[in-house]
């Protein structure tokens, strides 16, 4: 009987250590992934390389590149190439974001808007991380609803690229902030509960949520920006 109890204790301890390791590695890699993102955004703004990527062309390049990188990350997540591929993806995402950042920087208070969006994204992440660490409820059922919500806003965003409605853009941005903030909570809870054991996959999920929240906040703030 004592041997069985000891075995269970050791198994639980090993499982807890693995969960903590995955969470710790995810946080480190997530922090590291922000550096190529900033670099990509700076390169894009400085060179203007993405200035011509508007409308349908920009959408095709973004979706093609993003899904191509996500496929490559999933294929390499268990190998030494996983981290470099993820970091290359975050550079690409920064590059794609540079067009919006360049437009925001054209406002008198552009730098302030970007910093506000960054602060808002960080604040949402820390709130979701705090909630995930204390909540006891099983959130696994949220996954399918969040996926449906993400598909709806993605389709809405694609349609609005061609429609160009400011009201629709505002509604989509608000929806994106809500859905991907919830995704942060969902993904963090999965890591804490041991449902995600690969830190590269975990980092990718959290990075995408943070990227979408930041972009949506920036779009909302940009609507009230002061033009030169």
| pLDDT at res. 108 | 86
DSSP string, 96-122: HHHHHHHHHTTBTTHHHHHHHHHHHHH
| pLDDT at res. 8 | 44
Per the structure, the complete domain to which residue 125 belongs is given by 2-222
Is position 132 within any domain? yes
What's the domain count of the chain?
1
- Please list the pLDDT of the chain residue by residue as tens digits (228 residues): 555 545 544 454 557 788 888 889 999 999 999 999 999 999 998 888 777 666 667 778 888 888 999 999 999 998 889 999 999 999 999 998 988 898 898 888 888 999 999 999 999 999 999 999 888 888 878 888 999 999 999 888 888 878 777 888 899 999 999 999 999 999 999 988 888 889 999 999 999 999 999 999 999 988 865 555
Is position 180 within any domain? yes
Is position 174 within any domain? yes
Is position 21 within any domain? yes
Q: Which two tokens stand for residue 135?
A: 């909540």
| pLDDT at res. 20 | 85
Is position 228 within any domain? no
Is position 113 within any domain? yes
| pLDDT at res. 1 | 53
pTM: 0.88
| pLDDT at res. 55 | 60
Q: Which two tokens stand for residue 189?
A: 């809870």
| pLDDT at res. 39 | 95
| pLDDT at res. 143 | 83
Is position 161 within any domain? yes
CA–CA distances in Å: residue 225 to residues 80, 104, 110: 44, 8, 7
Is position 43 within any domain? yes
| pLDDT at res. 195 | 82
Distance CA 180, CA 79 (A): 28
């Amino acid at each position: 009987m004592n041997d069985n109890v000891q075995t269970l204790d050791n198994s639980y301890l090993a499982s807890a250590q693995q969960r903590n390791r995955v969470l710790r590695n995810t946080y480190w890699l997530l922090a590291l992934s922000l550096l190529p993102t900033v670099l990509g955004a700076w390169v894009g703004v400085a060179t203007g390389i993405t200035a011509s990527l508007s409308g349908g062309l920009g959408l095709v390049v973004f979706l093609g590149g993003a899904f191509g990188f996500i496929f490559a990350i999933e294929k390499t997540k268990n190998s030494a190439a996983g981290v470099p591929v993820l970091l290359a993806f975050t550079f690409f995402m920064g590059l794609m974001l540079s067009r919006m950042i360049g437009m925001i920087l054209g406002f008198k208070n552009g730098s302030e808007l970007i910093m506000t969006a960054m602060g808002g994204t960080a604040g949402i992440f820390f709130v979701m991380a705090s909630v995930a660490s204390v909540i006891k409820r099983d959130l696994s059922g949220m996954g399918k609803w969040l996926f449906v919500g993400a598909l709806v806003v993605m389709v809405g965003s694609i349609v609005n690229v061609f429609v160009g409605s400011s009201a629709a853009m505002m509604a989509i941005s608000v929806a994106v902030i809500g859905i991907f903030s919830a995704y942060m909570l969902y993904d963090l809870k999965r890591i804490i509960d041991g449902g995600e054991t690969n830190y590269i996959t975990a980092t990718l999920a959290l990075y995408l949520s943070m990227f979408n929240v930041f972009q949506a906040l920036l779009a909302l703030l940009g609507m009230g920006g002061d033009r030169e």
